[in-house]
Structure 1
Amino acid sequence: MKITAIVGNPKSRSKTYAIAGEVLKRISEGLTSEGETADEAIVDLADFAPSLLEWGNAEVIRQLERVTSSDVVIFASPTYKATYTGLLKLFIDQLPQQALANIAAIPVMVGGSPHHSLAVEAYLRPLLVETGAVCPTRGLYVLDSQIDVLPAVIGDWYETSALALRNVVHGKGA
């Protein structure tokens, strides 16, 4: 099982990064059997920001290959102007068409206001589907005010999403 989280926050090691890490941990725990460990990675796009403007950059290509060889990819972004960041878009634009075919993608967005909670479904999910990804669960929108209760927020989301995610990842859906 290979699980990757892509963090599209321009600030390195941001709240978005921490949230993506918690989502990755919960998904890994839920999808692996006892005694099994997943190959987990968090890619902080802030670390590669200038390289994303160099089409064909070797380090960016390595990260794209990591994504396209994963079973599950979490795409996490703060909400900027009611949508995902340009940094995340720069990364996703470098994926070949249908590069995420048969990969379970989890859209995650972080915001300060519930007024933008539909952004995860209205903007991020369609972008992922356009690349061929299967989005078996509803997107996760985390409010800044929920950071102190993050495990519970992610646990509630996972509880309602687990069956669909397991079915896609283990070949019973899609």
Structure 2
Amino acid sequence: MFTAAVIVGNPTPQSRTRDAAERLAAVLGASATTIEVSELGPRLLGFGDPVVAEAVARVQDADLVVAASPTYKGTYTGLLKLFLDQFATGTGLADQVGVPLMLGAGPAHALAPELTLKPVLVELGAICPAQGLYQLDSRYAEEGALDKWVDAWAPAIHASLRMDRSR
């Protein structure tokens, strides 16, 4: 069993983004803790806030990091960016396995997790062995994209998690 930190960058608490990310962590077999970034509010605007520092530590204690956001203007939310800015470049997510997940209204932004969110996770030190997951927010729970993605990428994620534990 491994642990996952699900980071939800949706401004609306208890969102479909959260549900989709928690589903992903569960299907991968992780015991997950969820960080609703919206609950951190204005504390995110500075550095050194103890509540934010505790949320960062919870993420850093996990084996797998699922960074989830709705797609806004072709990219992830500014709210998620504010939280990710709390992590040190190169070492903030060092040796953790990262998975970018984004929900959107249509297929036009299907590459957004790969082109916008994955590079940030890598910049923070995460290992991203899988393609980012994009799901349609109107039917993410039944569209089959999660099952197809897991079939294709779970072996690489699990292998990366095992490799990281052997160090």
Matched residue count: 163
What is the DSSP-based 3-state SS (H/G/I as helix, E as strand, rest coil) of the residue aligned with 1:84?
coil
1:9–1:88 contact (8 Å) kept in structure 2? yes
1:116-169: CA deviation from partner (whole Å, max 9, x where unpaired): 11111111010111001100110000112323405x331221110111111100
TM-score normalized with structure 1 length: 0.88
| Aligned twin of 2:53 | 61
- State the AA in 2 paired with 1:171: M
Structure 2: where are the runs of 5+ without partners? none
Bigger helix share:
1
| Aligned twin of 1:23 | 24
| Aligned twin of 1:99 | 92
Q: 2:136 aligns with which of 139, 143, 157?
A: 143
TM-score normalized with structure 2 length: 0.92
| Aligned twin of 1:134 | 127
Q: How does 1:48-127 map to 2 (within 5 A)?
A: 48-97=40-89, 98-127=91-120
RMSD: 1.6
Runs of 4+ aligned residues of structure 1 deviating over 2 Å after TM superposition are: 145-148
1:3–1:28 contact (8 Å) kept in structure 2? no
Structure 1: where are the runs of 5+ without partners? 30-37
